[in-house]
């Protein structure tokens, strides 16, 4: 097992009580395994009794901890959630963590997916997480807790009936974070990446054939985000260990494992000494980027309440972290660059790509809401200059 090979602490989540929905197979199985390895009490809330019992038996046998429990449930049903709540409170007295992992994935063009499949997708992919959150939140407010959502990629053709509710789950997570700020409950999302579970494999076959693309070519287009199923599940568990770092953010299993030093990013693996970096140019570009962002950040603070809220929420959605945290990241990099420590900046290509995408997105928004033609031309020019600066730094890294 990956965690064992890495000598990961067997006590990292000792005696924490964790509810994992859809833990009977796929990524949920590996996540249950990782939680059990770390000493947590795991309740697998799964609709499929056979899969749930099988998983429970396998993991309890593997570690001999007997800390994996199974509760058969359809999470879209409020009455069954009441029963689950009662069961957990009686057996474990409280709940520390919920991982909203269960999903159904109806496939097909929007007009072809039956309305009952749309309803089921809403039930499992959105209603279930809302019901569970509502049910456990009051008691979590007394004991503290962590709520983890599991988003997918962007809305994709032939997957709308699934992805739309997954996108809504991210909004649910973001809003919950704001409502819970200042409490002892942490909320964030962990995207597993593309993981070749049975569900994902059949989804790819349908999308590829609908788009008339060879399945292999489709997989090639996903190459950068493909992650081994064990690592995807371990990512959930390690994110819980380091939950404070992710509160209010959207991260991925891959990123979580990098952050914990369990894997090395492919980009970092490249031998940086091979790259001839012009550090004066790097410094000048980086300084421009920092100044642009800091000025923008300051101007956001002066906006009226609703507008400020809209901008900051949109920033977080696009960048995967709040503007405050991004500012802190830039400040840390800035002080490192002043001390001629370049490693972290050299490894921040992804971050600059994301910021560039954010400015592209701002440009798109601008076309819709700026009615003054002169202002529109000026603002578009300004955003283009920021995008160009980012492109220059991306090219260097």
Among the listed residues 207, 115, 114, 113, the one whose alpha carbon sits nearest the alpha carbon of residue 152: 207
Pick from 16, 51, 135, 316: which binds ligand NAD (CB under 6 A)? 51
The site for ligand NAD, by CB under 6 A, has a size of: 30
The backbone region for 182, taken as left when phi is positive above 0, alpha when psi lies in -120 to 50, beta otherwise, is left
- Distance, in Å, from the CA atom of 36 to the CA atom of 16, rounded to the nearest integer, reads 10
- Examine residue 73 and tell whether it contacts ligand NAD (CB under 6 A): yes
Binding mask 86-115 for ligand NAD (x = CB under 6 A): ---------------xxxx-----------
What are the start-end ranges of the E strands in 32-152? 41-46, 68-72, 97-100, 145-149
- Examine residue 129 and tell whether it contacts ligand NAD (CB under 6 A): no
CB of 146 to ligand NAD, least distance (A): 17
Among the listed residues 311, 306, 317, the one whose alpha carbon sits nearest the alpha carbon of residue 366: 311
Q: Which of 8, 29, 37, 162 is catalytic?
A: 162
- Examine residue 236 and tell whether it contacts ligand NAD (CB under 6 A): no
Based on CB atoms, which residue is closest to ligand NAD, 47 or 345? 47
Among the listed residues 75, 92, 82, the one whose alpha carbon sits nearest the alpha carbon of residue 41: 92
Pick from 16, 26, 40, 167: which binds ligand NAD (CB under 6 A)? 26
Number of residue whose CB is nearest ligand NAD: 26
Q: Is 279 one of the catalytic residues?
A: no
CB of 33 to ligand NAD, least distance (A): 13
Number of helices and strands in the chain (H, E): 19, 7
- Examine residue 197 and tell whether it contacts ligand NAD (CB under 6 A): yes
- Examine residue 76 and tell whether it contacts ligand NAD (CB under 6 A): yes
- Examine residue 263 and tell whether it contacts ligand NAD (CB under 6 A): no
- Sign of torsion over alpha carbons 36, 142, 235, 101: positive
- Distance, in Å, from the CA atom of 249 to the CA atom of 178, rounded to the nearest integer, reads 11
The stretch near ligand NAD (CB under 6 A) out of 5-13, 67-75, 260-268, 302-310 is 67-75
Pick from 20, 124, 126, 311: which binds ligand NAD (CB under 6 A)? 124
144-163 residues near ligand NAD, rule: CB under 6 A: 150, 152
Based on CB atoms, which residue is closest to ligand NAD, 67 or 76? 76
Q: At what angle do helices 215-222 and 198-210 cross, to 10 degrees?
A: 110
CB of 209 to ligand NAD, least distance (A): 18
Helix, strand, coil shares, percent, the chain, to 5: 65, 10, 25
Q: At what angle do helices 279-301 and 349-369 cross, to 10 degrees?
A: 40
Among the listed residues 28, 25, 129, 23, the one whose alpha carbon sits nearest the alpha carbon of residue 75: 129
Based on CB atoms, which residue is closest to ligand NAD, 86 or 328? 86
- DSSP per residue, 2-37: HHHHTT--TTTTTT-EEEEETTTSHHHHHHHHHHHH
Based on CB atoms, which residue is closest to ligand NAD, 199 or 362? 199
Based on CB atoms, which residue is closest to ligand NAD, 46 or 69? 46
What are the start-end ranges of the E strands in 31-175? 41-46, 68-72, 97-100, 145-149
Pick from 106, 145, 192, 235: which binds ligand NAD (CB under 6 A)? 192
- Examine residue 21 and tell whether it contacts ligand NAD (CB under 6 A): yes
- Distance, in Å, from the CA atom of 85 to the CA atom of 66, rounded to the nearest integer, reads 21
Other CB atoms within 10 Å distance of the CB of residue 364: 10
Based on CB atoms, which residue is closest to ligand NAD, 39 or 78? 78
CB of 43 to ligand NAD, least distance (A): 12
- Sign of torsion over alpha carbons 79, 91, 59, 241: positive
- Examine residue 250 and tell whether it contacts ligand NAD (CB under 6 A): no
CB of 133 to ligand NAD, least distance (A): 15
Active site residue ranges: 162
Residues near ligand NAD (CB under 6 A) = 21-22, 24-28, 45-48, 51, 73-76, 101-104, 124, 150, 152, 191-192, 194-195, 197, 199-200
């Amino acid at each position: 097992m990956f965690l064992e090979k890495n000598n990961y602490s067997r006590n990292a989540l000792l005696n924490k009580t964790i509810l994992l929905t859809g833990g009977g197979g796929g990524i949920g199985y590996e996540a249950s395994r990782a939680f059990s390895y770390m000493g947590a009490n795991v309740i697998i809330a799964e609709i499929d009794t056979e899969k749930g019992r099988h998983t429970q038996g396998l993991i309890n046998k593997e570690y001999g901890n007997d800390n994996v429990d199974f509760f058969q449930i359809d999470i879209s049903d409020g009455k069954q959630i009441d029963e689950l709540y009662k069961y957990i409170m009686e057996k474990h007295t409280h709940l520390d963590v919920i991982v909203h992992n269960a999903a159904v994935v109806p496939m097909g063009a929007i007009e072809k997916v039956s309305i009952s499949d749309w309803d089921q997708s809403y039930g499992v992919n959105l209603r279930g997480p809302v019901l569970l959150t509502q049910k456990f939140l009051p008691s979590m407010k007394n004991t503290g807790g962590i709520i983890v959502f599991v988003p997918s990629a962007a809305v994709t053709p032939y997957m709308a009936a699934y992805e739309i509710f997954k996108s809504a789950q991210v909004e649910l997570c973001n809003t919950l974070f704001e409502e819970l700020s200042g409490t002892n409950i942490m909320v964030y999302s962990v995207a597993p990446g593309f993981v070749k579970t049975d569900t994902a494999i059949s989804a790819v076959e349908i999308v590829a054939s609908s788009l008339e693309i060879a399945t292999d070519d489709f997989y090639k287009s996903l190459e950068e985000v493909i992650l081994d199923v064990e690592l995807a599940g371990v990512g959930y568990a390690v994110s819980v260990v380091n939950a404070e770092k992710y509160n209010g953010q959207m991260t991925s299993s891959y990123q979580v494992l990098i952050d914990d030093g369990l894997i090395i990013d492919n980009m970092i693996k490249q031998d940086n000494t091979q790259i001839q970096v012009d550090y004066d140019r790097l410094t000048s570009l980086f300084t421009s980027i920092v100044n642009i962002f800091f000025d923008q950040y300051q101007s956001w603070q002066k906006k009226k309440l609703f507008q400020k809220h809209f901008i900051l929420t949109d920033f977080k959605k696009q960048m995967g972290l709040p503007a405050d945290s991004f500012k802190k990241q830039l400040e840390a990099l800035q002080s490192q660059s002043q001390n001629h420590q370049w490693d972290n900046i050299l490894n921040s290509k992804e971050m600059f790509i994301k910021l560039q995408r954010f400015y592209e997105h701002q440009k798109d928004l601008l076309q819709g809401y700026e009615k003054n033609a002169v202002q529109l031309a000026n603002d578009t020019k300004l955003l283009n200059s920021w995008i160009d600066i980012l492109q220059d730094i991306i090219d260097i890294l």
